[in-house]
Amino acid sequence: MSSAKKVALVTGITGQDGSYLAELLLEKGYEVHGVKRRASSFNTKRIDHLYQDLHEGHINFRLHYGDLTDSMNIIRIIQEVQPDEIYNLGAMSHVKVSFDSPEYVANVDGIGTLRILEAVRILGLEKKTRIYQASTSELYGGLPENKNEKGFYDENSPFYPRSPYGVAKIYGFWITKNYREAYNMFACNGVLFNHESPRRGETFVTRKITMATAAIALGKQDCLYLGNLNAQRDWGHAKDYVEAMWRILQQDKPEDYVLAMGVTTYVRDFVRLSFAEVGIELTFEGTEENEIAKVAKCNNPAYQLEIGKVVVRVDPKYYRPTEVDLLIGDPTKSKTKLGWEPKYDLQGLVQEMVAADIDLVKREKLLKESGYLVTNQFD
Ligand code: NDP
Ligand code: GDP
């Protein structure tokens, strides 16, 4: 590998953000190293297109086996890579699952951040290595009284996390800030509101909705079961957000930044928008735990859905023990200081996600019909 290039180390490179960030850094001429976990089956489908064979000589993309729960491994990788920039995106990132695995999430999302920071210090790289920490709007907890005078959460709003995930991430936030202040390290938090894409994990609400929209429209799924339709989120596109992560580490001074669109939308309205993409209009009826959505109109002759068919039902099993009701972020600082301008709006995001999932369902259907795909998923 060449030494003249800037070198970046990305934890969580196999995830949604890691994959987009790796693409961006490679485009910018970086040498990119990623940490991937050993799994019993392949977990690299989001980055397989970036793979380069070590045996073919000079490469600028390389993966290292590792885990944020393993200090020795983290120290060894950082020592070997000598990164100019570390993007710590690795995390158990699902809020609902964090209630099932609270100790694990504390270890990975909380102490994992400390392991990165301390490794840089142990190796004497404080002056060389800049660190980006993936913080989250879940830190705010959605308390209405904590919004600023304009009605948004910003860099000065108080935190009140409402899940083991949020609590673990608040440790990550503060330990990053503490290492910056204590040891003069270039360590920054990006406090990111929800961001999505066709690469979003299948159990997050947006992706669950766009996948179900495609499968229902193509007659491969009957009904979509969701939890709280009254939650509101500030959704952006992951591609836009990784661009800002990079910008945060290019500043003269290390600081924390909120990344958000400044618009909040009900989960119910995301469902509406998603089905509208395939020409299906929905009507919602019932309340809370009994709410359903029916087909009101089907404007696309390609999809044969009967009027009145129930396509969405609420299942309280998806409710969380404590919920974050509403998130909306104020991106003013990021826009003014970083010069960050997101390219996607919500409509563009939904369009891209639904189109990708229609493609995916069609491809899987074709493979299955021709006997090349053995799965029960669409039975
Ligand atoms: P994903 O869930 O898509 O990716 C998480 C990544 O972390 C995966 O590569 C995963 O590996 C890796 N990982 C999980 N556990 C460990 C571990 N013990 N050691 C090392 N790596 C691990 O998340 P996103 O890409 O969406 O998010 C990136 C970061 O940003 C996360 O920290 C998330 O909490 C945070 N964030 C995300 C937001 C969003 O809306 N997307 C909003 C705010 C913050 P594997 O593929 O093997 O599972
Ligand atoms: P989060 O904001 O990080 O928790 O992202 P999610 O996509 O997991 O959830 C966003 C919101 O959608 C939360 O308020 C959830 O309670 C709500 N929601 C409603 N139904 C579902 C569902 O079936 N799955 C998920 N993941 N969230 C749901």
Per-residue pLDDT 10s for the chain (379 aa) are: 545 799 999 999 999 999 999 999 999 999 999 999 999 998 999 999 999 887 877 789 999 999 999 999 999 999 999 999 999 999 999 999 999 999 999 999 999 999 999 999 999 999 999 999 999 999 999 999 999 999 999 999 999 999 999 999 999 999 999 999 999 999 999 999 999 999 999 999 999 999 999 999 999 999 999 999 999 999 999 999 999 999 999 999 999 999 999 999 999 999 999 999 999 999 999 999 999 999 999 999 999 899 999 999 999 999 999 999 999 999 999 999 999 999 999 999 999 999 999 999 999 989 988 888 766 554 4
Q: How many A from CA of 12 to the centre of ligand 1? A: 5
- To the nearest 10°, the Cα dihedral for 93, 95, 101, 104? 40
Say yes or no: CB of residue 224 within 6 Å of ligand 2: no
Instruction: Find the helix or strand (DSSP H, E) in which 172 lies.
Output: helix 164-183
Residue of minimum CA distance from atom 5 in ligand 2: 204
Q: Read off the pLDDT of residues 77-120 as tens digits, 9 standing for 90 and up.
A: 999 999 999 999 999 999 999 999 999 999 999 999 999 999 99
Say yes or no: CB of residue 226 within 6 Å of ligand 2: yes
What span, in angstroms and rounded, lies between the C-alpha atoms of 43 and 18? 13
The region, left, alpha or beta by phi > 0 then psi within -120 to 50, assigned to residue 303 is beta
Active site residues: 136, 138, 165
Q: How many A from CA of 233 to the centre of ligand 2? A: 9
**Residue among 10, 11, 13, 17 to mutate when testing ligand 1 (max atoms within 8 A of CB):** 17
Residues in the chain: 379
Closest CA to 237 of 190, 273, 189, 194: 194
Which atom of ligand 1 is least distant from the CA of 39? Answer: 47
C-alpha dist (Å) from residue 238 to 193, 203, 312: 10, 16, 26
How confident is the model at residue 375, as a pLDDT? Answer: 63
Q: How many A from CA of 16 to the centre of ligand 1? A: 7
Query: Which ligand has its closest atom nearest to the C-alpha of 105?
Result: 1
**Residue among 95, 140, 261 to mutate when testing ligand 2 (max atoms within 8 A of CB):** 95
What span, in angstroms and rounded, lies between the C-alpha atoms of 293 and 212? 13
DSSP letter for each residue of 306-328: PTT-EEEEE-GGG--SS---B--
What span, in angstroms and rounded, lies between the C-alpha atoms of 207 and 228? 15
Q: How many A from CA of 217 to the centre of ligand 1? A: 30
Q: How many A from CA of 15 to the centre of ligand 1? A: 5
Which atom of ligand 2 is least distant from the CA of 206? Answer: 7
Say yes or no: CB of residue 267 within 6 Å of ligand 2: yes
Say yes or no: CB of residue 136 within 6 Å of ligand 1: yes
Say yes or no: CB of residue 18 within 6 Å of ligand 1: yes
Residue of minimum CA distance from atom 2 in ligand 2: 194
Classify domain 7-192 by CATH architecture: 3-Layer(aba) Sandwich (3.40)
CB atoms within 10 A of CB 28: 12
Tokens of 255: 């600081």
Say yes or no: CB of residue 201 within 6 Å of ligand 1: yes
Residue of minimum CA distance from atom 5 in ligand 1: 15
Which atom of ligand 1 is least distant from the CA of 88? Answer: 32
Q: How many A from CA of 201 to the centre of ligand 1? A: 10
**Domain locations in the chain as residue ranges:** 7-192, 205-231+267-325+346-369
* Rg, Å, the chain Cα set: 21
Domain covering 205-231+267-325+346-369 in this structure, CATH number: 3.90.25.10
Q: Which pairing describes strands 292-298 and 280-285: parallel, antiparallel, or unpaired?
A: antiparallel
Cβ-defined contacts of 305-312 (< 8 Å, 24+):
305/216, 305/217, 305/280, 310/223, 311/216, 311/223, 311/224, 311/275, 311/280, 311/282, 312/223, 312/224, 312/225, 312/226, 312/271, 312/282, 312/284
Q: pTM of the entire structure?
A: 0.96
Q: Read off the pLDDT of residues 25-46 as tens digits, 9 standing for 90 and up.
A: 999 999 999 999 999 998 999 9
Which residue's structure tokens are 């064979």? Answer: 53
